[in-house]
Amino acid sequence: MAAARRGMFSRGSLRRWVRLGALLAALMIALPVVLTILYLPPVVRPISTLMIKDVITLQGYDRQWVALDDIAPVMAHSVIMSEDGQFCTHRGVDLGELRGVISDALDGESTRGASTIPMQTVKNLYLWNGRSFLRKALELPLAIYFDALMPKRRIMEIYLNIAEWGPNIYGVEAASQHYFGKPASQLSRRQAALLAVTLPNPAARNPAKPGAGLRRLASVIERRATKAGAYVQCLN
C-alpha cells in the first residue's frame, strides 16, 4: 500500500514538474513576443538582462539613452562593418554566415561567430550570456521575429543603447563619456572604430587604452566605415 502511494506521489510530482517546465517555457517565449511590440515606439527605452542583473546585485549601472539621430553616424557605420556587414539586407539572421558555421562544426573545425546585430540585440534584451545551444536555439527565431517587426533604424538605436562597453557601462553615450569625455554625437572616426572593436570583449578591451592588436582592428574598421556606402543605406 505504501509503495503504491509512493508511486502515485512520484507520478504526480513528475506531472507537476512537467507542467511547471511547460509554463516557464511558454513564458520565455511569450514575454519577448510581447515586449518586442512594446519596444516599437521610440519613446520606450528598453534595458538589458545584464542591466537588470546589475540592479539586483546592487551594483547599479551607467546608461544614458540617446536617439540614433544624436549619435555620430560613423558610430553605427563602424558597428555594422565590424559586427554585421549584411545588417541592411538580411532578415535577422545571416544565412550565409550561419551555413559556414554549421559546415565548420560538421567538419570538426573551430567555429567563427555568426551573430547578427538583431541576434545580439535579442540576446541582450531577453536572454543570457555564455555559449549554449539552448540560448542559440531561442536566439535565432527571436532575431527573425524582432527584425520582422522592428525598423532597422530602431534596431540599431536599441542596440547602441544597450550594448555593454565595460563593467556596468551600457550604451554608446555612457561609453563615449567614460572613455573619451565627449558625447556620442561628437565621436571621431577613430574613436567610433575603437568602440566598435571593443564590443566583442568589453571586459578585456579598453578603447581609451588600446593595445597594438586593437589598434590594428580599429584601423581596418575605420577604413571600411568610410566606404560603407550601400552596407548602411537602411539607416539613411
Question: For position 100, what pLDDT does the model report?
Answer: 55
Element (H, E) at 63: none
Nearest to 143 by CA among 163, 162, 125, 165: 125
Supply the pLDDT for residue 190. 98
Rounded (5°) CA angle 51-57-58 = 90
Q: How high is the pLDDT of residue 98?
A: 62
pLDDT along the chain (236 residues), means of 10: 49 79 75 95 97 96 98 98 96 78 47 79 92 85 96 98 97 98 98 97 95 97 96 96
Residues paired with residue 169 on neighbouring β-strands, in sequence order: 62, 166
Res 10: pLDDT: 64
Report pLDDT for 18.
81
Assign 111 to helix, strand or coil.
coil
Q: Nearest CA to 189 among 217, 221, 229?
A: 221
**What pLDDT, on a 0 to 100 scale, did the predictor assign at position 29?**
76
The predicted pLDDT at position 216 comes to: 97
Query: For position 146, what pLDDT does the model report?
Result: 97
